[in-house]
Structure 1
Amino acid sequence: MTLNESSKNLTSAEPVRTVDLLVIGAGPAGMAAAIFAKLRGLDVVIIEKSEMIGGTASTSAGTLWIPENSQGKQIGDKDSITQAAAYLDSLIAAHTHRTDRQRDVYFSTGVEAIDVLQSMTEVKFLPCGEHPDYHAKAGAAVRGRAIVPAPFDARMLGRDFERVRPPIDEFMIFGGMMVGKMDIPRLLGRFQSLGNFIYSARLFLRYLTDRLRFSRGTRLVMGNALVARMYHSLLKLGVRPEFGTCLGELLVENGRVTGATVAGPSGTARISARKGVILATGGFAHNAGYRERLMPQPTPKFSLASTANQGEGIAAAEALGARISETENGSGGFWTPVSVTRRKDGTQGLFPHLSLDRAKPGLIAVNRAGRRFCNEADSYHDFVEAMYRSNDPDSAIPTWLICDGTFIRKYGLGHIYPGTTDLAPFLTSGYLVHGETPEALAKKLGIDAAGLEATLSRYNEQAARGVDEDFHKGHSALNRFNGDPQVKPNPCLAPVGTKNVYAMAVWPAEIACSAGISTDEDARVVDGDENPIPGLYACGNDMASVMGDSYPGPGTTLGPAVVFAYRAVNAAARERYD
């Protein structure tokens, strides 16, 4: 259906209400857009299909990639947008004038957008300090580009706290207590020092107190802190998302998007939006048709995205003639390997293997031929891309992470926490597979035994010398950052024992979509000729990523989500329609 044809569907009925801006979706992109709109003095309505705010970001690390950010400068970090732009350009093979302009404004507007939130709302950020970019390319930085949300006390939300989508079960302990990356060593070492014990005891007592009033702990960190802070800011600004309300169709008049029909608890309504509509529905993660069309083959069967992300925004835009950008190599997503967990209630969960195990010394990843095929310590996105490259002819889906019992006790593996000595529940459920020898393990896994034994022999010889000649594990700043600094000379290499060896299957899953609606530098949706569709904007995972297929560093999705929400609102505020 074309833009002009869709105007024929308008009825003569008066709209239920008229606002300046209609935002569809209450993830970070949508909430940021609503916040920025309210700060600009616009009358804004934000609708959310589910009963909770936050979308996929509520289960994420909550990091934003913002070169030259103010938070890093405050602690003395030195960064250069010029260097960041050169770094990003080196990663993106396909350039168009549109994406070049998008990258330019991303760099020029990023700090401004974050500073507006920091100074005018309850959304506060902290510098990450050392947090390396993901590729050893010219212009890459080791620190200064990543920021994280400050922890948030969700008691400030009162009963509205129950509207914040919780993290995945695998990211909480004691049934509902969040911990951040910096908490883990102190909790694990709680009996090693008085300071650690007091710190751990305070966290636990706070959690016990919380459970007297709330369904889970109220000390929020990472992505949960980000979305809760945005929600708190919206409520303070007088904007309350309308839950259980989904997009029907976009309304068009005289060639311009003027609002939408929506379906909510009270039935179908019509909202007229003077300044336009912003699509922020979270992307197409759980839309089978779009997955088949826009993701690599075999189509990944697992997703870490919110189940509410069904692609309604993309479908609505495409119905008006919007161009859907397919990424250069057909990746379609930003990836992480996941293991499939078995929860106590019998349901299935997914644990993302982001950084806590793959980079540590004493672990390898092998395909069905029993061979290593990548640097296990590279970024989660790069690891999955390597899985797809190795899948033909050697089949790396699933990939097997191989280690020994000493590794698991020291570092953990997937959802098995460090210090775990009783592995029986994980073996019984099939989450973990054990073999007395590599040959016995290979037979259980159905992989080539000779290949695995040869791989272990070669890897162990190189690990003893501290040099991975095959895949350079431990050579990059990112590898070393996630390794074990106590292991010398290479913090990512140690031999794997050849008795009592263990394996865990990991599969590709996306944490966000990279393909999506084509937009210009102001997040205006464009048609097949790259002309803006008046009154229609897209941001977050509905918008095709400014990063293309590349994943430059921590916060690759959330940084652009906030920045282009800011640009969309500013563009909409400037428009005048009679």
Structure 2
Amino acid sequence: MSLLQTLPSLPSDAAYDLVVIGAGGAGLSAALHGAIDGARVLVVERTGYVGGTTAWSAGTTWIPCTRHARSVPGEDSLAQAEGYLDRVVGLHADAALRRAFLAHGAEAVERFEQHTEVHYRPYATHPDYESDIEGATLRGRALEPLPFDGRRLGALFGALRPPIPEFTVLGGMMVDRTDINHLLAMGRSLASLRHAIGIVGRHAVDRLSHPRGTRLVMGNALVGRLLHSLAQRPNVTLLLHTQMREIHVEAGGTADEHGPRAIEAITLEAGSATRRVRVRGGLVLSSGGINRDPQWRARMLPGIPMDWCPGAPGHTGQAQALALQLGARHGEGAASPAFWAPVSLRRRPDGSTAVFPHFVMDRAKPGMLTINQAGRRYLNESTSYHRYGLAMQAEQRRSERGDLGAGAALPSWIVCDAAALKRHGLGMVRPGGGGLAAFLADGYLRTGATLAELAVRIGVDAATLEATVATHNRHAEAGLDPDFQRGTTAYQRNIGDATWPGRNPNLGALATGPYYAVQVVPGDIGAAVGLQTDDRARVLDAQGTPIAGLYAVGNDAQSIMGGTYPGPGITIGPGMVFGYLAARDAVARATAAA
């Protein structure tokens, strides 16, 4: 039987050992681990695509001390990783869950690589984001999924969520950082030219028979590998355009004096069709979190419109709402309710809005700086995207309080000169400096022959902007940033420009007109608040008792990072590991009940 089915095709008495709600990275991981154990698995996805926000991400998976860490320079240990997380996360999350993640991370990766198509490689250099904190490493913890040939998916290729169009080139060709570096260097390096010819030639062939490129990298590669692995197993069923409407517990109640009763079944709905499906072992919630729930946003993210969220559609919190009705509770104590990145917005020709995260390609590079609406710098542009988003909101609050020197920061502006734009690009404007007319015409990109002219175009005081740039340029010449310490950590320098001839890979003067600016706002890239779980991913009630048979992973679970961002892939890594722990526990329950 094929992996992809429809709800009406399920028998009226359908029963599964493991039911997974949500087909993002964490949900697919839980399903695949259950399938490896021989469980009968059902995956339910409310949208028409598999992959969730993972498919739009870099796919980086942060898991310390796997076998891959031994293949790169440096030393690491679980004790070192635990100490690092303790220092960064502190009391914002349960340390016992962090220890469970670290204890089982390597075995979860090894299990995938031995039994499935999911394979990784370590980044040559990818520092932890808080690289100045004791216990941080420069490499080995951040794993990258190997590229994947999407043609191997066959008809399932159409079920894989396509990447954000603005992250592709040449009409749907995916590129990762390695590809981008080769494309930029192909005029100077024969090896880069060969690489560029290879991927462009492959893409040209792809477009003869596919709507987009089939050479998958980053998050699309990870999801493609998960999907292909599930398709090889006859004990897995996938439903798209289907949602969970109700969770049923034993004896028809939610709880009694002995605590919550076990999950017995769920009701699914697809159009006019409904099915009651029995759950023998466990129900795993992995629906992506609550970022698109209007009530949650109004309470937890005031002043941050939903349109600023760059996450994939579908994470409306509906699954969590059903769990809360059973007595589940949200976790507490997170440093932030969400994870953040600066994003820029642009209306597409079809009327939809592109929400573009500024992760590494522009803001931290020489010749770039960020200003508030008063025309002043107020943050370290080379800090992590999460800290950058938090700094924008903090500056906005200072401005609203009337603090001296503060200025409104929602939105802010990334400003650069012509040389920096050509070298690094700016948001959706790609390196090279070509094709600017369309971006200037719709206002996404603003420009001025002088800083004073640019100030008029973006609505800031010209004298203040000129003074800000003059100060920045003096610091860039010296290679030091006494105001915000830009370029002072290994992480910051790593996302700078290694080929920059100046004294600091993150600092360069804005000296060559015309000058350009793009408006940025803080976008929530995922929820840090979710259902409280234990070290087996079991959902807990208000008394701390597990609700039997109910699990939460990914952004449906309270983040073990407590709203901090210790490194790249700190949502995907724990999602995969706790998907493993949830599946293992649920399959054991199903086996015991058989």
TM-score range, shorter chain: over 0.9
Give the counterpart of 2:103 among 78, 85, 108: 108
Residue 531 of structure 2 aligns with which residue?
A: 517
Cα gap change, 1:535 to 1:425, in 2 (>3 Å): same
Which of 247, 250, 261 is residue 253 of structure 1 equivalent to?
250
1:92 matched residue in structure 2: 89
Q: 1:424 aligns with which of 429, 437, 456?
A: 437
State yes or no: 1:347 paired with 2:352. yes
Q: CA RMSD in A?
A: 1.7
1:31 corresponds in structure 2 to 28
Which residue of 2 is the match for residue 11 of structure 1?
A: none
| Aligned counterparts of 2:128 and 2:14: Cα–Cα separation in 1 | 46
8 Å contact 2:289–2:530 — kept in the other structure? Answer: yes
Residue 402 of structure 2 is matched in structure 1 by: none
1:6 maps to: none
Deviation at 1:77, TM superposition (A): 4.4
Distance 1:298 1:124, change over 3 A: closer
SS of 2:91's equivalent in the other structure is: coil
**Cα-to-partner distance string for 1:531-564 (whole Å, 9 max, x where unaligned):** 1111110001111110011000000110010000
- Corresponding residue for residue 4 of structure 2: none
- Aligned residue in 2 for 1:279: 285
Report deviation, 1:408. Answer: 0.3
TM-superposed CA distance for 1:476, in Å, is: 0.6
Question: Post-superposition shift, 1:499?
Answer: 4.2
Question: Is 2:334–2:529's contact at 8 Å kept on the other side of the alignment?
Answer: no
Match of 2:299 in 1: 293
Please state if 1:232 is matched with 2:232. Answer: no
**In 2, Cα distance between the equivalents of 1:107 and 1:307?**
30
| Counterpart position of 2:374 | 369
> How far is 1:298 from its partner?
4.4
Please say if residues 72 and 139 of structure 2, whose CA atoms lie closer than 8 Å, have aligned partners that are also in contact: no
Query: Greater shift after overlay, 291-300 or 263-272?
Result: 291-300
The match for 1:199 among 192, 195, 201 is 195
Alignment of 1:34-433 (within 5 A): 34-95=31-92, 99-135=94-130, 136-238=132-234, 239-254=236-251, 255-264=261-270, 267-298=273-304, 301-329=307-335, 331-392=336-397, 393=399, 394-433=407-446
Q: Which moved more, 1:36-45 or 1:118-127?
A: 36-45
C-alpha distance after superposition, 1:95-126 (max 9, x if no partner): 56xx1110110110111111100111011111
After superposition, the Cα gap between the structure-2 partners of 1:376 and 1:120, relative to the gap in structure 1 and judged at 3 Å, is same
CA contact (8 A) 2:367 2:508 kept: yes
For the residue of structure 2 that corresponds to 1:441, the secondary structure is helix
Q: 1:219 to 1:405 in 2, by over 3 A?
A: same
| Deviation of the 1:498 alpha carbon | 6.9
Give 1:318 deviation, angstroms: 1.0
One-letter code aligned to 2:551? Y
Deviation of the 1:189 alpha carbon? 2.6
AA in 2 matched with 1:271: V
| Greater shift in the superposed pair: 308-317 or 259-268 | 259-268
> For residues 520 and 197 of structure 2, what CA distance do their matches in structure 1 show?
34
Q: CA distance change for structure 1 residues 328 and 158 in 2, over 3 Å: closer, same or farther?
A: closer
Shift of the 449–94 alpha-carbon distance from structure 1 to 2, 3 Å rule, reads farther
Count of residues paired in the alignment:
562
SS at match of 1:403: strand
Distance 1:194 1:547 in 2: 43
The amino acid that maps onto 1:500 is P
1:518, distance to aligned residue in structure 2 (A): 0.8
**Pick aligned residue for 1:435 from 436, 448, 457:** 448
* Alpha-carbon distance, 1:455 to partner: 1.3
Question: Partner of 1:335: helix, strand, or coil?
Answer: strand
Q: Share of identical aligned residues, percent?
A: 41
The secondary structure found in structure 1 opposite 2:526 is strand
Shift of 1:319: 1.3
Whether the 8 Å CA contact 1:341–1:350 is kept in 2: the answer is yes
SS at 1:426's partner residue? Answer: helix
What secondary structure sits across from 2:508 in the alignment?
A: coil
Deviation per CA, 1:247-304, whole angstroms, max 9, x where unpaired? 1111111411112100125711001111121111111121111112233544564111
Which moved further from structure 2: 16-25 or 517-526? 16-25
* Structure 1 position 61, deviation (Å): 0.1
**One-letter amino acid matched to 2:392:** M
Structure 2: runs of 5+ lacking an equivalent: 1-10, 252-260, 400-406
Task: Determine if contact 1:68/1:78 at 8 Å carries over to the other structure.
Answer: no
Cα distance change on mapping 1:90 and 1:299 into 2, 3 Å: farther
Of the three residues 431, 439, 450, the one matched with 2:463 is 450
Amino acid at match of 1:441: L
Partners of 1:88 and 1:36 in 2: how far apart?
26
Give CA deviations for 1:431-450 in whole Å, capped at 9, x if unaligned.
11112332332222222333
- Aligned equivalents of 1:360, 1:274: Cα separation in 2: 53
Asked whether the 8 Å contact 1:15–1:272 carries over to 2, the reply is no
Equivalent residues of 1:77, 1:129 under 8 A apart: no
Unpaired runs of 5+ residues, structure 1, are 1-13
Superposed CA offset, 1:466-492 (max 9, x none): 100011111110111111122231111
Q: Distance in 1 between matches of 2:209 and 2:97?
A: 46
Cα separation, 2, equivalents of 1:237 and 1:94: 41
> Residue 363 of structure 2 aligns to which amino acid in structure 1?
R
